[in-house]
Amino acid sequence: AETLGVENRGPLYEQIGALRDIVQNHMFQVLALTTMDGPNSFDAEALRNEKAKVLSSITPIDPRHVVRGQYAAGEVDGQAVPGYREEPGVAADSQTETFVALRLELESWRFSGVPFFLRTGKRLPMRDTRIVIVFRDVPLHLFRHVGVRHLDSDRLVVRIQPDEGITLRFVAKRPGSDVDPEPVDMDFSYDTSFRVSPPEAYETLLHDAFIGDHTLFIREDEVEAGWLAVARVLTNPPPVHLYGAGSWGPAEADAIPRPWHWHNPDPEPQQPA
C-alpha cells in the first residue's frame, strides 16, 4: 500500500500500470519467498532455484479473479489530492490501473487448493507492506455448546515496511467464568527490540551489488515465469473501477477474497498534540 500518487511520472505510468509495476515483480518475489521450500544453502543459485519453482507453479491468472482500480480525487494524510486522470501527462479518459487485487493459486504438492490474495495500490490510507498468513480453522469448535459459534482464525503477520516485525494473532479466553474469546497479539518489532531499524531496501541491494552477491536479484527464468502468470490479464484486462484517494481501493475488490476478507492494517496511532 502506498499513500503516494504517480508523483509527476504520469506519462511513464500511463504505459505501465500497477500490474506491470508492482505485481509481476515485487509482489511475486514476496510470494516466492513466502512459499518456497527451504534451499539447501544460502548460495544465491540455491535460493533462486526454489523461487523459480514457485513462480513457475503459478496457475495463469484468470482475469475474472482480478479487480483493477484507479484513484480519484480524495484526501490522504489530511491533504486534498487530485485524481489520477488530473495528474500531469495522464489522459482524461485513462484506463491505466493504479490498484490491483487478485486471487491466484499454485500448482504444487504443498499448496494445492490454497488461495493467495495479492493487493497493491497508490493513494491508499497508509504506507504498508505486509504478508498475512491465515491458518486453517480447527475442524471442531469445542466451544459451540456455550454459545461460541465462530472463532477468528489465527494469523501470522510479517510486516516488511515501514514497521518491520512479526505479529502472531490468536484467540484467547478473557479471564472469568464466561467463555468470552478475544483476539490478542504477540508482537516483535525490530525498532523496539533492537532500537535500530533495518537498512533501506536499496542500501542492501547496492551493498550486494558491490560484493557480487546475487541472492536478492531476479534471475531470467523468474522474470519469464512472472510475465507468463499475468499474460492473460494483460491481453484481456478487466474494467477499471474508480476509488477515492485515501480509501482501501474500489468496493469491487472486497469480493476477491470471499468468503474471507482483507486484513487491513490498523491505523497508525495519532501523535499527541
Rounded Cα gap, residues 157 and 80, in angstroms: 31
Pairing mode, strands 66-72 and 240-244:
parallel
Which position has the grid cell 536479484?
217
Which position has the grid cell 512472472?
226
Q: Kindly state the DSSP code that residue 20 receives in the 8-state scheme.
A: I
Rounded Cα gap, residues 58 and 56, in angstroms: 6
Alpha-carbon separation of residue 68 from 14, 30, 101, 239 (angstroms): 14, 20, 7, 7
**Catalytic residue status for 214:** no
Backbone angles phi, psi at 125, to 5 degrees: -65, -25
Residue of 94, 132, 130, 129 lying closest to 116 (CA atoms): 132
> Length of the chain in residues, anyone?
273
Rounded Cα gap, residues 124 and 18, in angstroms: 13
Which of 26, 214, 241, 263 is catalytic? The answer is: 26
Strand order in the sheet with 240-244: 116-121, 99-104, 66-72, 240-244
Catalytic positions:
26
